[in-house]
Amino acid sequence: MPAAEGHRRFEGRRALVTGASRGIGAAVAERLGAEGAAVAITARTLDRHPTLAGSLHETADRIERHGSQAAIVVADIADPDDRSRIVPEAVAALGGPIDILVNNAAAAMYQPLADYPLKRRRLTFEINFHAPLDLIQAVLPGMTAAGAGWIVNLSSATARPASGPPFTRPRIAAMAIYGSSKSALNRLTNGLAIELWGTGVRVNTVEPRAAVMSEGAEMVAGDVITPEMVESMEAMVEGTLALCDCDAERTGGVFVSLDLIHELGLEVHNLDGSSPA
């Protein structure tokens, strides 16, 4: 039975998901809607991207098919002025403060460090570190006033240093800037959790154990990812949603989706909230 017809654990909560026109963000937004949340979604692609499938309108349609409210905020998260609109517009559209923030939007540009341009470095950290913190700062007053809130930052295993020498995965070096930005995000998660301890606001990070083949991942790394290296979209979403509904004692952690699912004994559901056949 789809969650829209059964278990709606997020009923009455308002969520904001970034990077929700496709990939993990769109999947998380749909699942939140399937389980009853009113969901604000933001990205740049309202109707159609020139090379990638997915749009905010498509994600909103899926949320609304589950009987939940969807609010669209078109914004360029890389632009500080533009992203400053996101939370106020989401709050106005959903009719109240944000209970759940999922910082999913990310920039991933892989190339060797020896000639990695400064412009790309700045853009990576702008999107992967500064934007999540700006959005967190914008939702915190509402969360602390309510005495509860759930902030989930999406990270990556590339945040951890590679073992060696010898170094057996030379290609991982090209992911160092992306991984560095996610390492900074992980440290931010922990620091915020310490500051907010006792307020009821939970701040956590989740990362996939294996590659999740979103449209973007397929485009940038599809040629080197083999089936045994892949984690299902549904599993990544299941791990993410566990942190959108965790108790106040689970905060400040960097969790791996499949490990968290195993720890909590969760069943991986479909994106409509139904159990797999």
| Residue 195 counted as domain residue | yes
Give φ, ψ of 53 to 5 degrees. Answer: -70, 155
What's the confidence (pLDDT) of residue 211? 77
Residue 67 lies in a domain: yes
Distance between CA 144 and CA 132 in Å, rounded?
18
Per residue in 207-226, pLDDT tens? 998 878 555 544 554 444 44
7: left (phi over 0), alpha (psi -120 to 50) or beta: beta
Task: Please confirm, yes or no, whether 182 is among the known catalytic residues.
Answer: yes
Contact 38, 66 (CB under 8 A): no
CA distance 181 to 199: 27
| DSSP assigned state of 144 | H
Higher-scoring residue by pLDDT: 194, 164: 194
Total number of residues shown for the chain: 277
Cβ neighbors of 108 (< 8 A, separation 6 or more) are: 124, 175, 178, 216, 220
What does DSSP assign to residue 126? I
Are residues 154 and 24 in contact, defined by beta-carbon separation less than 8 angstroms?
Answer: yes
pLDDT value, residue 7: 81
Averaged over 33-49, what is the pLDDT? 93
Let me know: does 64 contact 57? Beta carbons within 8 Å: no
Both tokens of 42, joined, read 């933001």
Question: Averaged over 157-185, what is the pLDDT?
Answer: 88
> Residue 269: inside a domain, yes or no?
no
Q: So what's the pLDDT on residue 51?
A: 74
Q: 155 and 214 in contact (C-beta within 8 Å)?
A: no
**Residue 92 placed within a domain:** yes
Active-site position among 155, 180, 183, 214: 155
Q: Mean per-residue pLDDT for 167-194?
A: 92
Q: Annotated catalytic residue: which of 21, 55, 68, 178? A: 178
Cβ neighbours of residue 54 closer than 8 Å, sequence gap 6 or more: 21, 22, 23, 26, 45, 215
**Domain-located, residue 275:** no
Q: How many domains does the chain have?
A: 1
pLDDT above 70 covers what percent of the chain?
A: 92
Provide the pLDDT for residue 213. 52
* Active site (annotated) includes residue 116: no
Domain assignment of residue 272, yes or no:
no
Q: Which of 182, 183, 214, 257 is catalytic?
A: 182
Active site residue 119: no
The partner residues of 254 in beta bridges, in order of sequence, read: 205
Q: What is the mean pLDDT of residues 256-274?
A: 96
Phi and psi torsions of 90, nearest 5° = -65, -45
Which of 92-101, 187-196, 208-217 shows the lowest per-residue confidence on average (mean pLDDT)? 208-217
Mean pLDDT, the chain, whole residue set = 91
User: What is the pLDDT averaged over residues 254-268?
Assistant: 96
Q: Is the pLDDT of residue 49 over 80?
A: no
Does residue 270 sit within a domain?
Answer: no
Compute how many other C-beta atoms are within 10 angstroms of the C-beta atom of residue 226.
7
Tokens of 255: 């969790």
Helices (H), the chain: 23-34, 56-65, 80-83, 86-94, 118-125, 131-146, 176-196, 215-221, 233-243, 257-264
Look up the CATH number of the domain holding residue 228.
3.40.50.720
In the prediction, which pLDDT does 169 show? 76
**How far apart are the C-alpha atoms of 32 and 66, rounded to whole Å?**
10
Q: Does the pLDDT at position 159 exceed 70?
A: yes
**What count of other Cβ atoms lies within 10 Å of the Cβ of residue 232?**
15
pLDDT tens digits, residue range 106-128? Answer: 999 999 999 999 999 999 999 99
Full residue range of the structural domain in which residue 77 is found: 3-264
pLDDT of residue 4: 40
| C-alpha span between 20 and 206 (Å, rounded) | 17
Q: What confidence score (pLDDT) does residue 227 get?
A: 54
pLDDT at 50 over 80: no
